[in-house]
Each structure stands twice: as C-alpha cells, then as structure tokens.
Structure 1
Amino acid sequence: MSLFNVFKISGSAMSAQSLRLNTVASNLANADSVVSSDGKPYQAKQVVFKAVQDAASNTSTVRVDRVIEDTKPGKMVYDPKNPMANSDGYLTMPNVNVTEEMVNMISASRAYQNNVETMNAAKSMLLKTLNIGQ
C-alpha cells in the first residue's frame, strides 16, 4: 500500500468521525427539550458506519452508511403543571442519555485525533523520503 492511500483512508475516517461528533452534539443540545420540530419528543440519533472496499488500490475506507433514530423510549417525568404533560401529568422527555453521549463524544474525538496523527506521520515520512534524494 502506498503512503498516498493513508491520506485517503484517514481522510474518510476523519469525515465519518466529524459527522459522528456533530450527531452527538445535536443529541446533547436536545437532551432537555420537551418537543422537537415535529411536535414529538426528540429521538436520539446514532451514526452507522460502513466499510467500502476499493478494488483498484486494495484498500478499505469508511463512510457513514446512515443516521438512525434510537428506538429506546423516552424518560417519563411527572410534571402536571407543564402544558405538554399527558392526562396523567407525565411528560415524555428525550431518550438521550447524557453520560453515554459524553463517552461517545470522547471516543469520536480521540478517533479523529488518531487519524490526524496518522496523516501527519505519513506526511512526515513522505517529506523525509523526498529529502533522501537531495
């Protein structure tokens, strides 16, 4: 595998992790919202990755296959004074688990940083290879 493929592989991973970070940020921003734009409680979103094989270079890259809604039910909070509460006085809150989302954010940011360091190492090796010829 050539060093140039490293840029392609790491670049695809950085793009995927960037979307994952944006999705986590959206989940965290809506963790305490009572309703979303469609009038229902916000549903947490999760990113699904997919490996893509490139036959020409015999390498695999990663891409975002889809963004799915988490199917876990939302938390029921007793708040009878809230106008959005049901007839029993319960309010359905988003199904966002803030702790899980923070762990997901740390994992995504570390994966992103690892790919940045991989690209920097490949760049350094290419520059050193060019300096050999001088």
Structure 2
Amino acid sequence: LPRVYQPGHPDADADDMVTLPNVSMPNEMVDLITASRGYEANLRALRMYRQMAEQALSILRGVG
C-alpha cells in the first residue's frame, strides 16, 4: 500500500506517514458501470422472458 508523509493528518502514524488505500477510483467506477449495465441487461432479459411466458399462457388458455 502506498504511504505518504502527511504530518497532522488524523490517520498518520508516529512517523507522520499515512497509508493510502490500494484502490483506483477510475477503475472502480468502470467496474461499477460494467456491473450496472450487466444488471440492466439481465433485467431486460428477465422482463422479455416474463412477457413471452405470459403470451404463451394466454395462447394456451385461448386454445382450451
């Protein structure tokens, strides 16, 4: 993890060093957008399946 010298920082250790998170915000945002788009695509597929199942049931009900 990267460490930087920041005296007075509330998270600084005895040597006035602060350990920064090992996280890249741009990469995390890309991952978030990718996951969100995947979720939306799955939701659209589920809605389409539901619509097709309802249509199939209505056709079967009409035949009987």
Q: TM-score, normalised on structure 1? A: 0.40
Q: Which whole-Å CA distance do the structure 2 matches of 1:127 and 1:97 have between them?
A: 45
Gaps of 5+ in 1: 1-72
2:32 corresponds to = 105
Deviant stretches of 4+, over 6 Å: none
Aligned pair count reads 60
Q: TM-score, normalised on structure 2? A: 0.76
Residue 93 of structure 1, CA deviation: 1.2
**Higher helix fraction: Structure 1 or Structure 2?**
2
- Percent identical among aligned pairs is 33
Aligned counterparts, 1:1-134, within 5 A: 73=1, 75-82=2-9, 84-87=12-15, 89-133=16-60, 134=62
**Higher strand fraction: Structure 1 or Structure 2?**
1
Structure with larger RCO (C-alpha < 8 A, sep 6+): 1
Q: CA RMSD in A?
A: 1.6
Whichever of the two has the greater Rg, that structure is 2
